[in-house]
Every structure is written in structure tokens, then in C-alpha cells.
Structure 1
Amino acid sequence: MSLLHLAILSPFILTVFIPFFYKYARQIHTGWFVLFLPVLLFGYFLQFINGNMNGESVTKTLKWIPSLGIDFTVYVDGLGLLFALLITGIGALVVLYSIYYLSKEKEILHTFYIYLLLFMGAMLGVVLSDNLIVLYTFWELTSLSSFLLIGYWYDREKSRYGAQKSMLITVFGGLSMLAGFILLGIMADTFSVRELIAQANTLPDHPLFIPALLLVLLGAFTKSAQFPFHIWLPDAMEAPTPVSAYLHSATMVKAGIYLVARMSPIFAGSAEWLWLVAGFGIVTLFWGSFLAVKQTDLKSILAFSTVSQLGLIMSLLGIGAAALHYDFLDDNIYLTATTAAVFHLINHATFKGSLFMVVGIVDHETGTRDIRKLGGLMSFMPITFTLAIIGTFSMAGLPPFNGFLSKEMFFTAMVRAASLDIFNMETWGILFPVLAWVASVFTFLYSMIIVFKTFTGKYKPEELDKKPHEAPIGMLISPIILASLVIIIGFFPNLIAQSLIEPAIASIHPMLGDSFLVNIYFWHGWTIEVYMTLGVILVGLVLFFTLAKWSNIYNWFPKRLTLNNLYDNGLITMERSAYKFNNLYMTGSIRNYLVFIFGFLIVSLGGTLIVKNAFSFDISAGAPIGLYEVVLVLAMIAGTVTILFAKSRLTAIIALGAVGYSVSLFYVLFRAPDLALTQLLVETVSVALFLLCFYHLPEYTKKQKRLTFRLTNLIISLGVGTIVTLIALSANSTRMFNSISSYFIENSYTEAGGKNMVNVILVDFRGFDTLFEITVLGIAALGIYAMIKLRLTRGREG
């Protein structure tokens, strides 16, 4: 196992030791024990930057299921490295922040950090896996761990609801994505991402190309909360704030972004990819920003802003697909769009992570996140206010922060997209710059609401649960670091241009090679993008100061037609339908259940025999039937018929025992004394137990003694008997392989040193099978002993 594999698996390994640390070192916050790992991993991944800048990538393979083409292959290129640094870097800051946010006296910390590390390891597996099946495995682990994190406060109904909602939607998308991956594997005969990219020119001609594209995008859209699947993300805000800062700003919701970027070399040449990715992205951008304005909870505003920002990045990746239809040297639309996508990915992680932590500080120190109760906190929390200014102004796209630079590049890409002459962009493409500008106005508006409704205006102490004060320095360190990055990247964007952005672009579209150079700077002259920004600020300010006069438009939307209402009603309808359907067959009658089971057996196995023409009858190789066998068969038939017509339970039990003993005599005739002995013991115990049970039952009434004919019973019994007989005859008459008995005859003594072949098979050749059987019997014996002892103890107490 390589260090890269160990780096991915290390969070899972550390989870094993967290409960012991939590139990035996209660005086120390568990977060300190966890913090070293993301810091160590971040430092480890930093060493790959120089190699990625030189166009190098690292590949390590660990064999897993090579017969199915599934190996745990780790691939570190520019895109994977960028995400790995975000996952570990933001992860380290979130763990540090959580140490001061979560009280070790009030919270069950070991479960929190176990879930957090599971998520960190799963995300690293997603972004560094080259094999699609391995990627999917980690993908679903992110859904599971995020479900646990969102529902961390499981005693709250909203937490359970949000966790369930995120799980259902993202797992549905994940299963669709898996289907898409399988189709890709069928198309290219490989699950390797690199090998799929190498065959990208031939895949579009395959009839499964479009279904695979749609299924993969369904997985990406659900995970990255694209319209109409965005409804899970706001409800996921019930998680603790450190979780929100980690999952919903830098990691989980970016998994879908990563998938689209990683799959772009395979799918980006199609019109469907460009329109679906860019179209859903721009609609999500607008809808998320529009809904964010009406929210009154600070985390809800940030949740919808995250939806909006994810749509922005997604639309840029979609427009970037146009690079496959243009000469890069003649048209740099690809450079603009994809550079903006990668750049804003980094910027969003910095300003949104800091803003979530700021909101957590406000909630922690005032007891509320409701902006209707907040106001005037600037004088009580000056550092937090400063951090909020930096984060919100960057999110709004104002200079001199990093968000301004990527937002200007976003405007450039959208304006140029309207002039493309492919895939009908020359007609419908005008919607992109229009929706981009309108969404940016609302983005500016909700950014101003966050900072000024919270920190300026009238102070309302009567509305607050606590007297506000500045947060402890430990809680401020992480948002200060992120806010500092917002400023540093804003003033010196080219610090990360060659080291992170260019290698990521080369990974998204490897056909460009190293023929491009990213150079980011503030002033480009009086361009249309500058005028669009000035218009955003002007219109945004007007809307902010007149918010009370026009905000009633949100009440015009009928609540019955919302996506959340559709989800809730759909879930309720499915539950009720399932309940009604269950009641059709869950009658409580054992007879009915047996009818269903045996009826399915008859239809499925009998149908298979007929469809496959699988029945065969050949007794030429069988041993001759002797008189003893005929007598025993007749005795068994007589005993079976006696059971059916017996009017006494005792008679039926004796007849059943006679059938069992007749079977044991067959084993004696066939020279299998061990099986005969086992059968005799089982029959003796069974008969004794039946007699003990039926001894306590009342006698049959006259009505019960009358035999009633049931056609269903006759059909089922004859059907099962016939099907089993036919299968037995067909199996005995078909010899596809030589009998394994010769192998045991030849090797029992030489390999195992035993002359009793049956014993050798049980102890040596099938040793583990026998061991597990003994284990099961031992567990059953212990369980019976425990129940008997419990019953005796209760009897004494009584």
C-alpha cells in the first residue's frame, strides 16, 4: 500500500481510536486529538504542487477486483490535488473552529469527529480515485457520513428531517450515477477515468452515450444541489455550524462540481452537455439568489447563497465545453469560463467558509440567527463584523476582494457565450448574460442583508437570549485565516494561478496541454463587465433600501406549488401507498405467507424450466432400485397420507416421525451412517418437542376434526412437489462437469491423512464451513442458555 492510499484511508483508521481517547482523556477536547491529521494531510498534499505545475501526475494502484476491472487506483493531477487541498485545509480549520464551538461537557464529541473523519476520507477517495466504481463507493460514503453529520442533533425533528432529505435525494442521484458509470464501462470496456478520456473521440458515436451522460449529470446535480434538486441543502443547515462550514462551502456540495469537471473531457463535445450543465447552472444561480433574499435565518441565507454560487460554477463549466469547438489560440472563451470556474471554486471556499463561521459565532454569542432579532452588534463584536464585511463583500463581487475577480471573469464568459455560433447559442445564448446579471443583483442584495441587518441598525437586547460579546480568540482563528486568504488572493491572484488554477484547467481539458497561461488582474479598462458591475451595485442598493416595499412579491407564490411541498407530498403518498400495499399481503396468516412463498417458487422455477427447456430425464447412469427402497418409499407415502387425514395430534406426530425415520433408513442403505445418525437424533428431538408442545393444547373439537378441502392447498402442494422432483431429476440427469467425488477419493488420504473421507471433507476441505456451523450452534446454545437463566432468575425474584 502506497502513502497515497494510506493518506485516503488514514481518516477511517483514526476513527477507530477516537472512542478510546474520548473515554480515557475526557479532560482534553477530542478535537485536539483529531486536528493533527488534516494538518498532516494538508502538508503531505502540498508537496505535489511543484510536480503538477510541471505537468506531472502521480498514479498508484492497489489491486482489488482485477477480474472485474476494479482496482483502487489513486490519481493525483491538478484537479484532484486542488480538491484534496481544499478538503484537508478547510477540514483542519473546521476542526480547530469546532473545538471552541462544541462544548465537551454538553456534546457527544467522539461521534461528531468520527462522522467528520468518515466524510473527510470519503471525499478524498472521491477526488483521487481513477476507477469509477471505487469513486462511486466513496461517493455513497459521503452521502452516508453527511447524513450522520446533518442528523447529529438527532433529538431535533428538523435535524432528522434534513438528514433524511439529503440522504434520499443524493443517494437517488448516486444510484443513477452508478448506472451511468456502468454504461461507460460497457462502452469503453474500462472503468478507468484516464482510459475513458483517451477514448473520448470514439464514445459520442455509441448509442449509450446520451443515456450515460444524463445519468452521470443526475448524480452531479443532486449532490451539488442544482435546480430542482437544491431543496435538500437548506434543510441540511440543521447540522452544527462547523458541519455547514465544511460540507456546504468547500467539500460535499463541490463533489458534483468535481464530477462535472472530471467528466468534461468525455462529454463536453456534445450539445446536450453544454446546454444541460450551463442551463441548469444559470437557472440554479438565479433561483438560489432570488430565494436567499426572503430568508430570515442567517444560515438559511447562506444555504441559498451556496445553491446560487454552485449554479454559477456549474454554468461556467458548461460554457467552458465550447473549447472543443474553437481553436484555443483564436478564441479564449474556454480560458475565461473554465478559469473563472476553477478560480471561483477556490474563492467560494474561502469567503463562504468564513461566513458560516461568522454566523456560528453570532449564534453562539447571541443565541439566535434570526435577522429580525439582530442588529447593532458592530460595537459588541468588531472583529466578527470585520470578518463579515470581508466575506459578504467578496461574495457580492466587490473589489478589492477575490470574489470580484472571479465574478468579472464570470460576466466575461457569459457575455461571450451569447455570441457563440454553436448549438443554437446565437439565439438562446442571450439568456446567459441576462440571468447572470439579475442573479448578481440579488447576490449583492442578500450579501448586504447579512452584514448590515446583523451588525448595524438598532440593537435589540430584549430579543436576544444572551448579552452579545466578541467570540474567544480560538473561535476567531479559522475565519480570520479564511478572510485573510480572501484579501491575499484578491490582491495577488497570480500566487495561485500557476500553482493551482493552470494544472486544474489542464486536467479538465487535457487536449490544451500547456499552451495557455493564466494571468489574473483587476483592471481591464472600461469594459461591459465593469458597467454590469456598476449596474449591480446601483440596482442592488436601490432594492436594499426599498426592501420593505417590494418584498411582498414572495407571498405571490402559492405554497402548494413549491418543490419542498412536492417532495413532502410525494414522500407521504409513497408511504401511504406502501402501507396499503403491505396490508394486502401482510395478513398475519402463516398459511397466506406460505402460499405467497411457494407460489413464487412454482412460477419462477417452473417458468425457468419451461423457458430455458431445462428439463431432462436420464436414469441410465443411476443405480438399480431395490426392494428395500420400494418398501421405504411406500412407508413414507403411507406416513405422509396419515398426517393429512389424522384426527388426532398424537397420530399426526407419530406419522411425521415415521417419515423422518424412514429417511434415516435410506441413509443407512446408501452407506452414510453419520447422516443417518444425525437424522435419527433430529427426528427424536423434533418428535419429543412436538409432543411437549401439543400436550398443552386443547383437544380438537368435532368441527376441527372434519377435513375441509382447499383447492389452493392442493395446487400449491402438488406444484411444489412436482417442481422439486423435476429439478432433482434434471440435476441428476445433467452432467456438465465430472463428479468432484473422484478428487476427494484421490486426495483425502494424501492431502489430509484421513481414511474416513466424510470426516476429511468436513474437517479439512470444508473446514471453515464446519467451523461456522459450529459457531452458529454455539451462539444458539448460548442464547438458549441465557433465556433459560433469565427465566429462572425472574421466577426466583417473583
Structure 2
Amino acid sequence: MIFAVLLPLLIACFIPMISKIKDKVHTGIFVLFIPLFIFIYFIQYIGSDFSPVRQSYSWIPSLGINLNFYLDGLSLLFVLLISGIGTLVVLYSVYYLHKSERLGHFYVYLLIFMAAMLGVVLSDNIYVLYTFWELTSISSFLLIGYWHFNKKSRYGALKSMLITVFGGLSMFGGFILLSVITGTTSIQAMISQTDIILNSDYLPLILILILLGAFTKSAQFPFHIWLPDAMEAPTPVSAYLHSATMVKAGIFLVARFSPIFSSYEWFFITVSIFGIVTLCWASYMAVRQTDLKAILAYSTISQLGMIMAMLGFGTEIAVFAAVFHILNHATFKGSLFMVAGIVDHETGTRDIRKLGGLLTFMPMSATLALFGTFSMAGLPLPFLNGFYSKELFFDATLHLNEGALTITSFLIQIIPYLAVFGSIFTFVYSMYFLFGVFGGKEQIEKLPKKPHEAPIGMLISPIILVMGVILIGLFPNMVNGTFIAHAAEAVSGIEITKDISFWHGFMYPPLLMSLVVVGLGTVLVTTRKKWTGIYQYVPGKFSFNGVYDSMLRKLTSYSGKITDTYMTGSLRLYAAIILSVILIVTFSVMIATNGFYITFDNLAPITILELAVVLIMVVAAIATIFAKQKVSAILILGVVGYGLATLFVVYRAPDLALTQLVIETITVALFLLCFYHLPQLRPRNETRGFKTINAVIAISFGALMTLVGIASHSSNWFDSISEYFVETSYELGGGKNIVNVILVDMRGLDTLFEIAVLGIAALAIFSLIKLKKNKEAK
């Protein structure tokens, strides 16, 4: 499984070279085979006798961070969606993106995102999952902002980044708490310790933190505002990220941790409320939009809300319906995004107010849109997969168990009505999209260019997706026992056997609910212009985007003011702040941990020579304060360094003494060179209070470091490593000089990087000298 994650990353390294020949062959042709290969490989796991597969690779075992991969029914569903839809999106992009675009950048970002999503759904280690989780945020930021010259693209990319990363960090906090409670970093091992987690005092906090990650990623209310602005990305990105993959990462997270939290009543309350509210609000707001991709964006939010609500219900039928709808939504929504891209590509606009009557110009696209929108609307037709999962959703709302809390009982009673309400507006925006683009009167004069049908290459991908809609609709049990049932079992933890059928009788309650949706939805569609004025009152002038923009402006303003208070350009102030913080934090920690334990046992006697050298160093250090000239201050300061070298000689450490002498000589020389170009020292008119503060900070910090040094010598918290070096330096390093063996062999990497730093510094100095000579020569 690790190859599926690493393969896209490996190929991404070669895309910049491959893209150089894009004038001859479109870069997407080379990329196409990567997701296709992954898709074909994982198809082998589909079957009625499928059992989970585990693979583990050591990474940082000391921290419990290993590349543990786990393939069960749920992760298999997402892997096939990521690779399958990814293949179709890459094929679509070959015809959508012109060769003049920055194709190298686009496909590098796309492959990174693909690898990140595969890592998310396959990872069994919480820290590895989090790593891939944040990589999806970074890569989606790059994809959304692909047309970076467009202000709206930059705005949408930044908004998605801020919101999803905020959720990701919250989720990470929940993961840490789970790891501390269970003593493991494996998700499956955590599931086996469900009782320990449910009995933990941190359970509410863990649930909140993890759900924040899921809700922000899956654009749940009120974090949904980033998704419509993300539609500024190229349509292939929208079809991939915002219909089948990234936005479903939050769905996956809730599904993966459902075996832990499903028996916790507040999980049902929280997830169900947010899911059903998201369904209703987004479907209601979708009818207000005029941009085709904005309509689809809000429709995606509403569909994600429906899936999230079903996962919150937690019943067998609800979990089965949720998993089934994940597959169905990817097929019809992916095709609709592609159709919207085709309309934009062939007409030059996505404004539905300028479109209409395109059926005669784009009959194939209209046909694809018809199947996609009818399936999304949940019309009771046997060849549409969307109806089956929508009917299962209605059935799930009618079979919620009674809860112990009053709010739960009320929620169980009101959820079916909210489900019908949200579904009515789902029907409305579906018909609004279809007939607003392909029906009605032609408005050719308003279009930037004359419409015509898209080339067959651009139609292949949506055709395949629509064929999926029809085939699943005609043969729903074809993907049930061999595919969907395994995914549902992975979520619920028990085997779910559910036969999917179209007809259950005319008086079947979910069918009656569907007929109510179609009936009332038809009335609203035909009278849309008469009631859309309600949007002037609800939401009216209120906008969650306005709240976000206001918060961002205030955050920027306040942070700027705070920064201006200490970023004054005064090096003395910076040093005072840094030393004060170190002083306070270190002193507090040392006091709290009894770190100032000091003993004078086993100390060597102090001789007159040592006292004399130390006294000279102290006098020299104090003398620098009263020096009037720069040169004298530097020379006096050098006495301190040379005094330290003398102490090394006294303590029989000639190698350290030589090192200190060399460093001190170079330092003094460099100081003299640098300070030669600075103005002379001048007396400063400083208040007594200012001088007192400086003295307090300096004396306190010096005293603290002295005490820390003495305390470190007195502490015996850990066994000394010196004996290990004495015993093994000759045996392992073959040298009698222990210091040399440590530097060259035992800490060879440290020494290597230290040499690299010195080499870089030398190159920088050489460059500056050469640059100055070149300027003087000119």
C-alpha cells in the first residue's frame, strides 16, 4: 500500500522535466497512468470475501510514529474514489487546460494532493494521518490558488487554508489526548480500547477537537464559507477536490472514529445537528446563487451535511446509507462539475443569468446534466443511484431510537421534517441548475462567445461518471455485497446485510416523503421568481463571509498594533525582551521542578592560579561597561575569552584551549573589522529607572545562568554518558583520543553539519568581499 502513497510523490518529482515537452504532448497524458494504475491495483480487493490488510514500516519507533497502513472496506471505498475520479479528472484536464498554462505546476500540485489523500485514508497511525491531513490543506491551497494572478483565487486559497488548518490543529490536539489515554498511536488499537476512552474525563474535549477537524474539512455549518470561494480553482480541481476527495476527508474522519464515539450520546447530538443544519442551510442558499460552480458548491455542502447527519445517527441503516451516498455523490456531482466546466469553456461564462436554451447547442452536455441533476434531486426513478441513497436517508430518519435526554427526543422527532425541508430545496436547486442552463430562452447575445458542444475528449469523463449513475441505479446490489457492505461494516463495527431495492410499496413512508419533496419542490421551482425575495430577509444583509472578513481584518489590525509596540528597531529592547522571557520561564520551571538543587560534594580544590584568572575575567567583563572607545571595549572583552582558554589549559584540556584561542582571535578580529565602520560610542541620556531595569535584567540573567550551571553539575537525574565513551571509544572508533572519537565518529553528523555551517559562512564572506571588489572596479 505504501507504493500507492509514494508513487504520485515520486512521479511529481519528474513532472517539471516532463512538462518541458508539453508543446508536443500534453503533460496530463503522462500523469493519467498514475491514478489509473493505482485504481486497477486496488480493484483486486473488491469481493464478498474481503478482509482487512495491514502493512507497517518503521519510521520513528521511539515516538510511536510508524507508517502503519490499514486497508478495510471504508479505506478501499475512498482509495477507489481518489484514484478512479482522479483518473477521470486528469483525462478531463487534458482537454480543459491549454498547453500554454503552467501545466508542470498544476500536475505537481495535483499529484501531491492525490498522495496526501491516499495517505489520509490508508493511515492507521494518528500522527501519520495528521501529516497527510495537513498536506491536503497545503496542496489544495496551491490548487485553489493556481490562477494566482486572480485576486479571487488568492482570497479563496487563503480562506480554505486558514479554516482547514485551524481545524487540523484542533484535530491534532484530540489525537494527542487519545494517544495519552490509550497509550497507543494506532487507530485500530484505540478502537479496541473504546471503553477506556468513553470513561475518560477528557472525552468531551476529545470529541470537540476531532469534530472541529472534520467539520472544517467537510465544510459543515458554519465553517462552510470556504468552499464556495474555493470554486475559483480550475474546474478539474473543483471536480476532484470538492466533490469526491478533499471535502470527504472530514466525512472519512468521522466514519473512521465512529466505532469509538457512536455509543456516546453527545456524538449523536452534535454530528446530527450540525449535519442536518448544514443540509438545510446550504440547500436553501444554493437557490440564491447565480454562478454555476457556486450552485454546485452549496449543493456539495448540503450533500455533505446529509452524509454527516447519517453518520451521526449511527444506526445500521443510516451508516449503510451514508456510505452508499458517498459513492453516489461522487458520481453525479463529479459529472455536474465537469458539465459546468464545459459550459464555462464553451460559452465563456458561468453566470446562469446569461445562460439558457443551450440544449440545442450542447445536447450531449444537457443529457449528462439531466441524469446528474435528477440523481442529485433524488427523483424516484429506477435508473438513478441518487434516489436509492436518498430513500435510505429518509428511512434512517424514521428509525432513530428514543434517547434519554429531552433534547435527544426532540431531535429525533424534528429530524425527519428537516430532512424533507433540505431535500425540497435540493430538488429546487437541481432543477434550477438544469433548466436555468439548458432550458428556457436562448440569450446568445449575452454570451462572450457562441456556444457549441464540447470536444469528445472533454465529454468522456462525465459520460463515464453518468454511466456509473445509471449502472448503480439499475444494479444497486452489484456494488452492495462486494463493496458497500464492507465499508459500512468498517464504520459500524458489525456486519451489515442490506438488500437495495427500488420498490417497497406505494405506502412506503420514505417513498411518500420523496413524493412530497418532488411535489412541493415542483411548486417552488415554477414559482421561484415570486418567493426568492425572502433572501432579502433571511439571511438578508447578514453574511458568514462578512463575519470571516471582519475577524480577519481585526486580527490583522490588532496583531499589527501589538507588533508595533515591541518592534521599534532597538536592539537593546529586543535583547531585554528575549532575556526577560528566558529568565521568567527558566526560573519558573526550575522552581516548579526543584531544579535549583545544589551540592558541593566531590569538587576539586580551587588554587590561587584559578582564582587569579577568574578575577581577571570578572574585572574585564565589568570594565567593558565603562569603556569609552569601541576598540578598547572589544579588546577588554577579548580578555574574557582568552581567560577562558587559560582555564582550559589549567584543567588539562589542550584541544579545547586551542579551539577557544582560535575562535576568540577570529571573533576579536571580526569585531574590530565590523565596528570600524560604526560611529563612535556616545554617552546616552538615560534615566535612572532605565538603567536600573537594565541592571536588574543583566544581573538576574547572569545569576540564573550561574545557578543553572552549578545545579546541572549537582543533579543526578540521568546516568552520566562519559563512562560509555570511555569504555567504547577505542573499541568502536579505534582512537585513543576520546574527544576526537566523539567528534569524528560518535557525533559525526553533528560535526559534519557544523562544518557545513562554517563553509556556508565562509562562502557568504567571500561573496561579500568579491561583490565589494566588483563595485570598486566599476
* TM > 0.5: yes
1:344 to 2:341 alignment: no
Identify if the C-alpha distance between structure 1 residues 361 and 708 changes in structure 2 by more than 3 Å, giving closer, same or farther.
Answer: closer
1:483 to 2:478 alignment: no
Partner SS for 1:59? strand
Mapped to 2, the partners of 1:535 and 1:90 lie a distance apart of: 33
Instruction: Name which of structure 1's ranges 679-688 and 354-363 shifts more when overlaid on structure 2.
Output: 679-688
Counterpart in the other structure of 2:16? 19
The one-letter code matched in structure 1 to 2:42 is F
1:389 to 2:384 alignment: no
Mapped to 2, the partners of 1:765 and 1:532 lie a distance apart of: 73
Counterpart in the other structure of 2:526? 545
Of the three residues 305, 314, 318, the one matched with 1:311 is: 305
Partner SS for 2:2? helix
Mapped to 1, the partners of 2:525 and 2:167 lie a distance apart of: 37
Whether the 8 Å CA contact 1:645–1:707 is kept in 2: the answer is no
Mapped to 2, the partners of 1:584 and 1:445 lie a distance apart of: 54
Counterpart in the other structure of 2:595? 614
Mapped to 2, the partners of 1:677 and 1:58 lie a distance apart of: 60
Q: How far has the Cα of 1:276 moved from its partner?
A: 1.4
Partner SS for 2:70? strand
Identify if the C-alpha distance between structure 1 residues 734 and 311 changes in structure 2 by more than 3 Å, giving closer, same or farther.
Answer: closer
1:44 to 2:41 alignment: yes
Whether the 8 Å CA contact 1:493–1:521 is kept in 2: the answer is no
Identify if the C-alpha distance between structure 1 residues 637 and 66 changes in structure 2 by more than 3 Å, giving closer, same or farther.
Answer: closer
1:632-643 mapped onto 2 (5 Å cutoff): 632-643=613-624
Partner SS for 1:64? strand
Mapped to 2, the partners of 1:33 and 1:39 lie a distance apart of: 11
Identify if the C-alpha distance between structure 1 residues 452 and 593 changes in structure 2 by more than 3 Å, giving closer, same or farther.
Answer: same
1:556-705 mapped onto 2 (5 Å cutoff): 556-557=537-538, 561-699=542-680
- Structure 1 length normalisation: TM-score? 0.93
Q: How far has the Cα of 1:793 moved from its partner?
A: 2.3
Counterpart in the other structure of 2:27? 30
Counterpart in the other structure of 2:140? 146
- Structure 2 length normalisation: TM-score? 0.95
Q: How far has the Cα of 1:736 moved from its partner?
A: 4.4
Instruction: Name which of structure 1's ranges 734-743 and 64-73 shifts more when overlaid on structure 2.
Output: 734-743
Partner SS for 2:399? helix
Counterpart in the other structure of 2:62? 67
Partner SS for 2:246? coil
Whether the 8 Å CA contact 2:70–2:124 is kept in 1: the answer is yes
Q: How far has the Cα of 1:662 moved from its partner?
A: 2.0
Deviations 1:50-77 (A, max 9, x none): 2xx2252211222233333333222221
Counterpart in the other structure of 2:713? 732
Counterpart in the other structure of 2:215? 221
The one-letter code matched in structure 2 to 1:123 is M
Counterpart in the other structure of 2:181? 187
Mapped to 1, the partners of 2:539 and 2:758 lie a distance apart of: 62
Q: How far has the Cα of 1:520 moved from its partner?
A: 2.3
1:230 to 2:224 alignment: yes
1:92 to 2:101 alignment: no
Deviations 1:450-482 (A, max 9, x none): 111111222222211111111011000000011
Identify if the C-alpha distance between structure 1 residues 768 and 553 changes in structure 2 by more than 3 Å, giving closer, same or farther.
Answer: same
Q: How far has the Cα of 1:221 moved from its partner?
A: 1.2
Partner SS for 1:60? strand
1:129-144 mapped onto 2 (5 Å cutoff): 129-144=123-138
Counterpart in the other structure of 1:771? 752
Whether the 8 Å CA contact 1:405–1:522 is kept in 2: the answer is no
Identify if the C-alpha distance between structure 1 residues 455 and 187 changes in structure 2 by more than 3 Å, giving closer, same or farther.
Answer: same
Q: How far has the Cα of 1:496 moved from its partner?
A: 1.0
Instruction: Name which of structure 1's ranges 282-291 and 635-644 shifts more when overlaid on structure 2.
Output: 635-644
Partner SS for 2:132? helix
1:228-627 mapped onto 2 (5 Å cutoff): 228-319=222-313, 321=314, 323=315, 334-335=316-317, 337-398=318-379, 399-400=381-382, 401-417=384-400, 420=402, 423-424=405-406, 425-511=408-494, 513=495, 516-557=497-538, 561-627=542-608
1:787-798 mapped onto 2 (5 Å cutoff): 787-796=768-777, 798=778
Instruction: Name which of structure 1's ranges 755-764 and 724-733 shifts more when overlaid on structure 2.
Output: 755-764
Q: How far has the Cα of 1:575 moved from its partner?
A: 1.2
Of the three residues 47, 72, 79, the one matched with 1:77 is: 72
Whether the 8 Å CA contact 2:506–2:512 is kept in 1: the answer is no
Mapped to 1, the partners of 2:255 and 2:286 lie a distance apart of: 26
Partner SS for 1:518? coil
Deviations 1:567-618 (A, max 9, x none): 1111111111111111121121111111111112222222333333322333
Whether the 8 Å CA contact 1:667–1:675 is kept in 2: the answer is yes
Deviations 1:652-677 (A, max 9, x none): 23322222222222222222233323
Equivalenced residue count is 775
Identify if the C-alpha distance between structure 1 residues 125 and 743 changes in structure 2 by more than 3 Å, giving closer, same or farther.
Answer: closer
The one-letter code matched in structure 1 to 2:412 is G
- For structure 2, which runs of at least 5 residues remain unmatched after alignment? none
Identify if the C-alpha distance between structure 1 residues 423 and 262 changes in structure 2 by more than 3 Å, giving closer, same or farther.
Answer: farther
Mapped to 2, the partners of 1:748 and 1:79 lie a distance apart of: 53
Partner SS for 2:194? coil
Whether the 8 Å CA contact 1:180–1:212 is kept in 2: the answer is yes
The one-letter code matched in structure 2 to 1:44 is Y
Q: How far has the Cα of 1:422 moved from its partner?
A: 5.4
Instruction: Name which of structure 1's ranges 760-769 and 310-319 shifts more when overlaid on structure 2.
Output: 760-769
Counterpart in the other structure of 1:208? 202
Whether the 8 Å CA contact 2:273–2:309 is kept in 1: the answer is yes
Partner SS for 1:74? strand
Q: How far has the Cα of 1:445 moved from its partner?
A: 1.1
Whether the 8 Å CA contact 1:366–1:464 is kept in 2: the answer is yes
Mapped to 1, the partners of 2:590 and 2:198 lie a distance apart of: 41
Whether the 8 Å CA contact 2:170–2:212 is kept in 1: the answer is yes
1:119 to 2:113 alignment: yes
Deviations 1:658-702 (A, max 9, x none): 222222222222222333233333333333333344444555567
Partner SS for 2:68? strand
CA RMSD of aligned residues (A): 2.3
The one-letter code matched in structure 1 to 2:249 is A
Identify if the C-alpha distance between structure 1 residues 423 and 499 changes in structure 2 by more than 3 Å, giving closer, same or farther.
Answer: farther
1:156 to 2:150 alignment: yes
Mapped to 2, the partners of 1:191 and 1:778 lie a distance apart of: 41
Mapped to 1, the partners of 2:137 and 2:464 lie a distance apart of: 28
Partner SS for 2:594? coil
Partner SS for 1:61? strand
The one-letter code matched in structure 2 to 1:269 is S
Partner SS for 1:430? helix
Deviations 1:103-127 (A, max 9, x none): 112x111111111111111111111
Q: How far has the Cα of 1:788 moved from its partner?
A: 2.1
Identify if the C-alpha distance between structure 1 residues 351 and 714 changes in structure 2 by more than 3 Å, giving closer, same or farther.
Answer: same
Mapped to 2, the partners of 1:56 and 1:344 lie a distance apart of: 22
Mapped to 2, the partners of 1:711 and 1:442 lie a distance apart of: 71
Mapped to 2, the partners of 1:67 and 1:340 lie a distance apart of: 41
Whether the 8 Å CA contact 2:274–2:309 is kept in 1: the answer is yes
Q: Between the two proteins, what is the percent identity of the paired residues?
A: 54
Partner SS for 1:764? helix
Identify if the C-alpha distance between structure 1 residues 231 and 756 changes in structure 2 by more than 3 Å, giving closer, same or farther.
Answer: same
The one-letter code matched in structure 2 to 1:588 is G
Mapped to 2, the partners of 1:483 and 1:636 lie a distance apart of: 83
Q: How far has the Cα of 1:160 moved from its partner?
A: 1.1
Deviations 1:318-348 (A, max 9, x none): 22x2x4xxxxxxxxxx32x222212211111
Identify if the C-alpha distance between structure 1 residues 185 and 755 changes in structure 2 by more than 3 Å, giving closer, same or farther.
Answer: closer
